[in-house]
């Protein structure tokens, strides 16, 4: 697989309870559809994390899994080295929380040190965010795109000065019911929605790939997917008006 673009799915057994593995599959498939050789590498605790990947993915998980994932990632060290070398990290829900500076677990809200890859902190929220979320994301070219997904999180995330929101909420809770959703800092992107989110939002998937490759990609038109997105957006907006 020399020269193949490597997509690395980190600790599926710990951070894979919400179907977020699909994000890795989407990235690989969208490269293959363009004739770009791509490989999906899945690593579990005890396996060395490849240091030469292009995109790394962290998914959703429970409190104990978050603590374990942080421990193993820190001990391994290769995720940090890969990001320093220019790789992209895409972290969803629990993965988003552990990518930050701190997060809390348990009934006592014990503060746990995160990976420090995003200038965000997460604390238990005043309500649990459960349901469809619709946000507005500004692409690098300045155009606006909608992001759809399903959020299910009890943590509320606050952004520090070095991180900026990924998107702004039209329907749903997002980071902390403050109108923002997700965070971006350099080549690290965190977000709450599942779906998996990249299956629902191919433009976001291509954005990650373009960041990793350092170049633009040809579009992959899909009228059926576009129609499904329109239906989903309309349904979420109808539900929100009730």
Residue 215, exposed/middle/buried by CB under 10 A (0-12, 13-18, 19+)?
A: exposed
Q: Is 168 helix (H, G, I), strand (E, B) or coil?
A: strand
Q: Is-contact 200 232, C-beta < 8 A?
A: yes
Q: Check whether 1 has a pLDDT greater than 70.
A: no
How many helices (H) and strands (E) would you count in the chain? 7, 12
Indicate the helix (H) or strand (E) that contains 108.
none
Q: Is-contact 100 89, C-beta < 8 A?
A: no
Indicate the fold that domain 5-241 takes in CATH: Rossmann fold (3.40.50)
User: How much is the pLDDT for 108?
Assistant: 85
Q: Could you give the residue ranges of the DSSP H alpha helices within the chain?
A: 21-32, 63-76, 78-84, 94-99, 197-200, 202-213, 223-241
Q: Is 12 helix (H, G, I), strand (E, B) or coil?
A: coil
> Across residues 29-37, what is the average pLDDT?
98
Whole-number average pLDDT of the chain: 96
User: How much is the pLDDT for 106?
Assistant: 85
**pLDDT tens per residue, range 168-222:** 999 999 999 999 999 999 999 999 999 999 999 999 999 999 999 999 999 999 9
CA distance 84 to 89: 11
**pLDDT tens per residue, range 66-97:** 999 999 999 999 999 999 999 999 999 999 99
Q: Check whether 104 has a pLDDT greater than 70.
A: yes
Give percent of the chain with pLDDT exceeding 70. Answer: 99
Q: Check whether 8 has a pLDDT greater than 90.
A: yes
Q: Check whether 242 has a pLDDT greater than 90.
A: no
As annotated, the active-site residues are: 93, 194
User: How much is the pLDDT for 107?
Assistant: 82
**pLDDT tens per residue, range 202-215:** 999 999 999 999 99
Q: What is the pTM of this model?
A: 0.96
């Amino acid at each position: 697989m020399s020269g193949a673009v490597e997509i690395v799915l980190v600790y599926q057994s710990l951070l894979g309870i919400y179907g977020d593995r699909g994000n890795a599959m989407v990235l690989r498939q969208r490269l293959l559809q363009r004739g770009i050789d791509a490989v999906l590498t899945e690593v579990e605790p005890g396996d060395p994390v490849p240091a030469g990947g292009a995109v790394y993915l962290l998914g959703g998980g429970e409190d104990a899994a978050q603590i374990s994932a942080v421990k193993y990632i820190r001990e391994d060290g290769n995720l940090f080295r890969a990001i320093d070398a220019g790789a992209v990290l895409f972290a969803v829900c629990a993965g988003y929380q552990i990518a930050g500076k701190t997060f809390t677990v348990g009934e006592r809200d014990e503060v746990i040190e995160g990976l420090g890859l995003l200038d965000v902190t997460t604390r238990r929220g005043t309500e649990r965010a459960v349901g469809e979320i619709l946000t507005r994301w500004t692409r690098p070219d300045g155009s606006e795109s909608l992001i759809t997904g399903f959020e299910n999180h009890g943590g509320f995330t606050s952004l520090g000065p070095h991180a900026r929101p990924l998107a702004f909420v039209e329907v749903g809770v997002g980071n902390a019911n403050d109108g923002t959703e997700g965070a971006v800092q350099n080549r690290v992107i965190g977000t709450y929605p599942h779906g998996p989110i990249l299956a629902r939002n191919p433009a976001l998937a291509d954005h990650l790939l373009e960041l990793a490759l350092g170049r633009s990609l040809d579009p992959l038109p899909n009228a059926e997917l576009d129609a499904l997105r329109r239906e989903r957006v309309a349904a979420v907006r109808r539900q929100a008006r009730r």
